[in-house]
Amino acid sequence: MLAKNAHRRSAGGSCIAALVAAGALFGFADARAGFVGLTWTAPGDDGSIGTASTYELRYRTVGVTGVDTTSWWNAATSVPSVPAPRIAGTKEAFTVAGLDSGQTYYFIIRTSDEIPNWSAFSDLSVKVARETFTLATPQQFQALATPSSVTLSWSALAPDAGSESRMYRKGPGELSPRLLRALPITATSWTDTTVSPGLSYEYRLATFGGGQEGAPAIAGVTLPGVAAQIAETDIHGFPNPAHDNVTFRFAVGTGGTVRTRITVFDLMGHKICELVDGDLPPGEHSVSWDCRSTWGRAVAPGMYNVVLESPSGRSVEHLAILP
């Protein structure tokens, strides 16, 4: 079992942070040869509270000898591009690629806070990289509409059914569905508030893993009420690239207040923060972002997607953050 209270102290002896080792690793064989999927429960950066800063996932083709996990860890291969931890208690999933099909692999994961203080080692997960895996189609996928929202629900998927679920929507005038949100594989519901009365929408939910999507479940819905006249909307950030502050400008069309959401995502689809979520009057608007996450931490340099969602559609600004 995992150490549930792994404390790391400074040289002076004061307790800097209480980090919990990530929940036990579970595995699934993914859709392509040489892939293994792992799932675990996110720890916090202070025991089981908050959000940790970093994961370090490593593997070998041999297990741990006796109780000497440290030597095993030092000789293990580090897995690149593991996403940052989400809030404590969230079910995480990640697919390890580039493995030899049929080979047995041993995995251990650790987590750290921003200092960094490192957690204890997780349980050893033993998995075989396989060639075939069928991604499940979500069952009992339903859409329930109100004049201002659509709540989607579906039956629970197994934790090893894929690395995440992806929600798509096709609205009036759109030729193909657009990705709305990447959801934890364990999620069973999600509410879309960027809809408009009187309009019809088609939703699709698909499991994802190993660079592939399974066959989607599909649900259609028409919202009650009278459709308002809406205009196209767009979003632009200044400056871009940015360093520590950026202003986004956008317009809300005519026809009364419009439900609007602006969200920042990393390139893995993980939510960094939400800048706007509410009803806005018609006209020009702007919102500033200090390049920090919901938890107040400065984001890492790199590329981010800033997504504007409204009943008229979805616009994405690709934002570069400099060191």
The pLDDT assigned to 2 comes to 32
Identify the top-confidence range among 82-91, 107-116, 133-142, 250-259: 107-116
Percent share of the chain, pLDDT over 70: 82
Q: Is residue 52 part of a domain?
A: yes
Q: What residue numbers bound the domain in which 207 lies?
A: 142-222
Structural domain tally of the chain? 3
- State whether 183 and 247 are in the same domain: no
- State whether 10 and 108 are in the same domain: yes
- State whether 180 and 271 are in the same domain: no
- In which band, very low, low, confident or very high, does the pLDDT at 32 lie, cut at 50, 70 and 90? very low
Instruction: Using the predicted structure, report yes or no on whether residue 26 has a pLDDT greater than 70.
Output: no
Q: Is residue 214 part of a domain?
A: yes
- In which band, very low, low, confident or very high, does the pLDDT at 1 lie, cut at 50, 70 and 90? very low
The DSSP result for 144-185, as a single string, is EEETTEEEEE-PPPPTTS-SEEEEEEE-TT-SS-EEEEEE-T
Can you tell me the mean pLDDT for 248-273?
A: 82
The CATH number of whichever domain residue 303 belongs to comes to: 2.60.40.4070
- State whether 114 and 188 are in the same domain: no
pLDDT in tens, 109-158: 999 888 888 999 999 999 988 765 567 899 999 999 988 899 999 999 87
- State whether 150 and 243 are in the same domain: no
Q: Comparing C-alpha atoms, which of 44, 47, 3 is closest to residue 24? A: 3
Domain termination site, one of 128, 160, 183: 128
pLDDT in tens, 273-291: 999 988 888 888 999 999 9
- Asked whether 269 and 164 are in contact (CB, 8 A), the reply is yes
Q: Is residue 229 part of a domain?
A: no
- State whether 17 and 74 are in the same domain: yes
pLDDT in tens, 165-200: 999 998 876 667 888 888 888 889 999 988 888 888
The pLDDT assigned to 188 comes to 93
Q: Comparing C-alpha atoms, which of 190, 202, 193, 201 is closest to residue 147? A: 193
- Measured CA to CA, the distance from residue 39 to residue 18 in angstroms comes to 22
Domain termination site, one of 222, 249, 276: 222
- State whether 19 and 82 are in the same domain: yes
- State whether 197 and 293 are in the same domain: no
pLDDT in tens, 295-315: 888 999 889 999 888 776 678
User: At 34, is the secondary structure helix, strand, or coil?
Assistant: coil
- State whether 151 and 114 are in the same domain: no
Can you tell me the mean pLDDT for 22-50?
A: 67
Query: For all residues of the chain together, what is the average pLDDT?
Result: 81
- State whether 261 and 304 are in the same domain: yes
Residue type, 304: Y
- In which band, very low, low, confident or very high, does the pLDDT at 5 lie, cut at 50, 70 and 90? very low
* β-strand partners of 178: 169
Question: What region, left, alpha or beta, does residue 79 occupy, with left being phi > 0 and alpha being psi -120 to 50 degrees?
Answer: beta
The pLDDT assigned to 60 comes to 96
The pLDDT assigned to 132 comes to 58
For the entire predicted model, the pTM comes to 0.47
- Measured CA to CA, the distance from residue 201 to residue 209 in angstroms comes to 26
- Measured CA to CA, the distance from residue 263 to residue 215 in angstroms comes to 27
- State whether 60 and 119 are in the same domain: yes
Domain termination site, one of 222, 249, 264: 222
